[in-house]
Amino acid sequence: SGLVAALILGSRAQFDPDVLNTGQTNIPFTIVGTGLLWVGWMGFNGGSAYAASEIYDSYSFFEGIAALAIVNSNVAAASSMTIWVILDIIHGKLRGQPNAFVSIPGVCSATVVGLVAITPCAGYVQPGYAMLIGACAGLIVNLFLAGKKRFFHVDDTLDVFSCHGLGGFIGTVMTGLFIQTDVNSDVANGAFYGNPIQLGYQLVGIVVVVSFSTVCTAAILLPMHFTFGIRINRLEQVRGLDNVAHGIVDMNLPKKMSQIQGPSLRQKQTEINIIPTIPIESS
């Protein structure tokens, strides 16, 4: 859905596909938001067990699926973040940067990628596999983002498809590989444990979800796009909706205005302010 929406919506006025880092408005808020998301995700994955534990036999059997899901979620997020930091350092060295360069927003994205990837199987795999899933997701998504900025000029503002879409695909596929009945009796074994058909089920699920999301998103956005429109004009994009809708002034607005492409703003403003005059001949 995010990718289809980005394609239909089009690029922002200031979007430059050749710029890897377009600047962030508030890095501390990004870190705080990621931390809140990380903590909340524990309730998301752990809460899917509907109980702190499951007791099948009051005398002998105890299964802490909720605790396992929480542990796996943290392990996957941490491993994804670690791989992402290593790749950022390698990319920096390849670009000739003397010091190690680690992108803070990138690290925050890596955390989300790990959490997204482990979500399909948080309560069904061992922690070792959770580490592998998070690391693979961080590796693949990081490389995909580097290639996307170079070859695919799609203005996916928050990298929604890369982090949530691709991360979800990776987690769904690996669910078909690593899940175990010994870990959670509610599921069948995965392909690595003698049940390759489970991987087929996962792939079919991906195709169904992608098809459904693509068709529904296009059905909603295309009529809006071709009628009243879903993108504000370029000048309002640079000014920002806070200024356009609420009158709040951005202190960096003059700098942004000078960077806009296309006809100069002074020319546009002059065209707007021109008052047509009618010559009057004196008798």
Q: What is the pLDDT of residues 77-123, one digit of tens each?
A: 999 999 999 998 888 888 777 676 788 889 999 999 999 999 999 99
Contact 29, 103 (CB under 8 A): no
In the prediction, which pLDDT does 272 show? 41
Q: Is the dihedral of CA 120, 125, 126, 131 positive or negative?
A: negative
Instruction: List the Cα angle 178/125/72 in 5-degree steps.
Output: 130
**Domain regions of the chain by residue span:** 28-195
**What percent of the chain has a predicted confidence (pLDDT) above 90?**
48
How far apart, in whole angstroms, are the C-alpha atoms of residue 120 and residue 72?
Answer: 11
Contact 164, 6 (CB under 8 A): no
How far apart, in whole angstroms, are the C-alpha atoms of residue 275 and residue 257?
Answer: 24
Cα atoms in the 13 Å half-sphere on the side-chain side of 157: 9
pTM above 0.75, yes or no: yes
Mean pLDDT by 10 residues, the chain (283 residues): 88 60 72 95 87 54 78 97 93 77 88 96 94 97 84 79 94 96 90 94 96 96 91 78 77 59 45 44 46
Closest by CA to 137, choosing from 198, 193, 69, 82, is 82
Residue 228: exposed, middle, or buried by beta-carbon count in 10 A (0-12, 13-18, 19+)?
exposed
In the prediction, which pLDDT does 274 show? 43
Per-chain mean pLDDT for the chain? 82
Q: 57 forms bridges with which residues in the sheet?
A: 61
In the prediction, which pLDDT does 63 show? 62
Q: Which CATH architecture has domain 28-195?
A: Orthogonal Bundle (1.10)
